[in-house]
Amino acid sequence: MIALPFAHRPPPLSGQLRAAPEDFQVREIIGFPLDGSGEHAWLWVRKCGANTDWVAKRLAERAGISAGAVSYAGLKDRHAVTEQWFSVHLPGKADPDWTAIHPDFAVLEAVRHSRKLRRGALSGNHFRIVIRNLDGDPEALAMRWQTIAALGVPNYFGEQRFGREAGNLQRAEAMLSGVERVRDRHQRGLYLSAARSALFNAVLARRVAEGHWNQLMPGEVLMLAGSHSIFSAAEGDETLRQRVAGFDLHPTGPLWGAGELLSSGAMRELEETVAAEWPIFRDGLPTAGLKQERRALRLVVEEAALAFPEPSVARVEFRLAAGAYATTVLRELIGSGVQADNNAVNP
């Protein structure tokens, strides 16, 4: 694992997260209406002390179907209070009784829809997080929060992507170097994702260290905000610079795989130089069947709010796009020691 530099200088104070599950609350936002009819039952579930996959299996048991017939958009942290959608495929069947399945979760709403819920089918997540035992100046925290809201933060992949003590990266290296053969498709996907994420973080860390992670540079590949649409900007002009400054466009970094890098000039040289420091991942990911893609380097923090409900206690609320990590935002706010969450879906 590499050291990930802060974008806005080291945080001004520290604090404690997750003193209780209620201190970390997450709510999914799907961004589209449900039909009200169809063979898929969509369930709005609140859970606490339970991971997403375990809840999906309990729903399948209640419906008398296989676990594969239950879908969800993304994993949510076990050590939090989270609200998210599940879809249950019930062709020709009525809904079972969804009440009182288990004390660790509850079905708050059931709505029929014509399609299943697919991974990543979110517009974002809303977070409400309490930070306790603040050590430092609250005014400095408020100023830092204003900076984060105004400028965004580096869109690093969170530590949870890499497994406990970076174990997924170690397994990825063993797998891609031919030392270990991984037959399980799910585990193989986790290891490949970890390797790809490590290369992205390394490129982003280099650009943060050089001070241009959120600026238009020659040879840049830009992504349109709110989409995955990208285009090359070999020579940036003032219009593009203004659109980057206005959050309409974002600089991107590589999600490594087969194919040519879309970047050019100095940015391509930077990306190739960083990737050369990880030769097993650089060479192994294309062979494993992954293709070159891009991810925004900048994470926009929307609907940002900060309050101090008690002495030495802060509460932050914000919204992030799907695929982003709350811990990435909290790291810029209160520094290292932020515990991992699972509030992002795989790209």
What integer pLDDT is reported at residue 69 of this predicted model?
A: 96
Tens digits of residue pLDDT in 193-229: 999 999 999 999 999 999 999 999 999 999 999 888 9
Average pLDDT along the chain:
92
Q: pLDDT digits over 283-314, tens only? A: 999 999 999 999 999 999 999 999 999 999 99
- Report the distance separating Cα 288 and Cα 196, nearest Å: 11
pLDDT of amino acid 12? 78
Which pLDDT band holds residue 163 (cuts at 50, 70, 90)? Answer: confident
Q: Which residues contact 103 (CB under 8 A, 6 or more apart)?
A: none
Output helix, strand, coil percentages for the chain, rounded to the nearest 5: 35, 30, 40
Active site residues: 77
- Note the pLDDT of residue 341: 43
Q: Could you list the beta-strand ranges (E) of 136-245.
A: 153-154, 220-224, 230-233
Q: What angle, rounded to 10 degrees, do the helices at 185-210 and 167-176 form?
A: 110
Q: What is the arithmetic mean of pLDDT over 56-78?
A: 94
Tens of pLDDT, residue by residue over 33-42, are 999 999 999 9
Tell me the angle at which helices 167-176 and 279-287 cross, rounded to the nearest 10 degrees. Answer: 70
pLDDT at position 336 is 57
Given a cut of 70, is residue 154 above it in pLDDT? yes
Cα 65 to the center of its chain, rounded Å:
30
The predicted pLDDT at position 261 comes to: 94
Local confidence band at 340 (pLDDT 50, 70, 90 cut-offs): very low
The per-residue pLDDT for 11 is 79
Q: Is the pLDDT of residue 334 over 50?
A: yes
pLDDT value at residue 77? 84
Domain 32-113 -> CATH class: alpha beta
pLDDT of residue 279: 96
Q: Which two tokens stand for residue 93?
A: 């069947």
- Say if residue 132's pLDDT is above 90: yes
Q: Please, which residues have CB within 8 angstroms of residue 139's CB and are 6 or more apart in sequence?
A: none
Q: Hey, what amino acid is at 205?
A: A
- pLDDT score for 165: 87
What would the two tokens of residue 101 be? Answer: 């399945």
Please tell me the predicted confidence (pLDDT) of residue 82. Answer: 96
- Whole-model pTM: value is 0.87
CA distances to 3, 220, 264, 280 from 269, rounded to whole Å, are 21, 11, 7, 19
- The answer to whether 51 touches 104, Cβ cutoff 8 Å, is no
Higher pLDDT, 137 or 59: 59
- pLDDT tens digits for range 164-189: 888 999 999 999 999 999 999 889 99
2-61: per-residue pLDDT in tens? Answer: 789 999 887 778 889 988 999 999 999 998 999 999 999 999 999 998 999 999 999 999
One fold for both 32-113 and 160-298? no
User: Could you give the C-alpha distances from 162 to 49, 132, 168, 198, 199, in angstroms and in order?
Assistant: 22, 27, 5, 8, 12
Q: How far apart are CA 224 and CA 296, in angstroms?
A: 9
pLDDT value at 347 more than 90? no
**pLDDT computed for residue 343 by the predictor:** 40
| Confidence at residue 260, expressed as pLDDT on a 0 to 100 scale | 93
Residue ranges per structural domain of the chain: 32-113, 160-298
Q: What is the DSSP string of 132-150?
A: EEEES-HHHHHHHHHHHHH
What CATH number is given for 160-298 in this structure? 3.30.2340.10
Pairing of strands 124-135, 70-72: unpaired
pLDDT at residue 338 greater than cutoff 80: no
